Amino acid sequence: MVVLELSKSVYSLLSVKSVAHRLSAEATCIIDDSDKFWILGLRPNLGLTNLDDLACRATRELLDQELRQILDEKTQAFRSVIIAQAFSGVNLLHPELDNAPAGTDPLGLSKPDSETGRIH
């Protein structure tokens, strides 16, 4: 049995649960709560005896889960905008383009960058 004490100030409960789920094919996982720590207990399933390897995988997965959460928080709004734009019948990002009269060039695509100040 591997028991990891994980500081609550570093790891979220969501990360600990996600790691337990990911490792569920290899180990029976128990999560408990003490004052300042999440306790993650991992009992290897039959045939798996390398506890060091299991502990190593669990801690690496914890770091990955934390990174995933940071990414998720930083990009969630963008994900929603991209999906909305992808399936919208109108241009959500540049509504002025839908309303511009035919033959006009509201983005100044025909003008050189030196005139528009555009940087690619």
Closer to another protein at the Cβ: 24 or 99?
Answer: 24
Closest of 35, 34, 30 to residue 20, by C-alpha: 30
When asked if residue 14 is in the footprint of another protein (CB under 8 A), the reply is: no
When asked if residue 36 is in the footprint of another protein (CB under 8 A), the reply is: no
| Residues 103, 24: Cα–Cα separation, whole Å | 61
DSSP 8-state class, residue 76: H
Q: Determine the residue type at 48.
A: L
Please list the residues that pair with 29 across neighbouring strands: 42
In the complex, the smallest distance separating the C-beta of residue 34 from another protein, rounded to whole angstroms, is 26
Give residues in contact with another protein (CB under 8 A): 18, 21-26, 60, 64, 67-68, 70-71, 74-75, 78-79, 81-83, 85-87, 93-94, 111-114, 118-120
